[in-house]
Amino acid sequence: MAKTNHVNFADPNGKVYCFRYNTVAVLDDLFVKGNCEQCPYFNGSAQGGGVECLYADGTNRSIVQQYDPYEAMREAQEGRGKLGMLSEFELTELQGKEE
């Protein structure tokens, strides 16, 4: 399954969707250093405007741009359901096998 680069731009409140933890978070230096830099899905900083996450979402798209973190979360949850993978452990195992 192909991986999709999800470009999650921060909303006006500085929030983005975090795929790894399946939550909306404030994208600040503390969050980036404590979470993103060690994340297996981290793929960049969206040119300073957010965060890029690379993972298979079942759609075979090459890139998706999201501006609403809650919409991104809804879409990711639908993708997790379609893939039958709901836990972080299962997702990490799937992503690791694809590399």
Q: pLDDT digit string (tens) for 10-48?
A: 999 999 999 999 899 999 999 999 999 999 999 999 999
Contact 64, 4 (CB under 8 A): yes
Portion of the chain with pLDDT greater than 70, in percent: 85
Q: What residues contact 63, with CB distance under 8 A and at least 6 apart?
A: 4, 5, 6, 7
Using DSSP bridges, classify how beta strands 63-66 and 15-18 pair: parallel, antiparallel or unpaired.
unpaired
pLDDT on residue 87? 60
pTM over 0.85: no
Indicate if the pLDDT at residue 91 is higher than 60: no
Going by pLDDT thresholds of 50, 70 and 90, the confidence category of residue 76 is: confident
* Closest residue by Cα to residue 80 from 94, 63, 98: 94
CA distance 69 to 14: 10
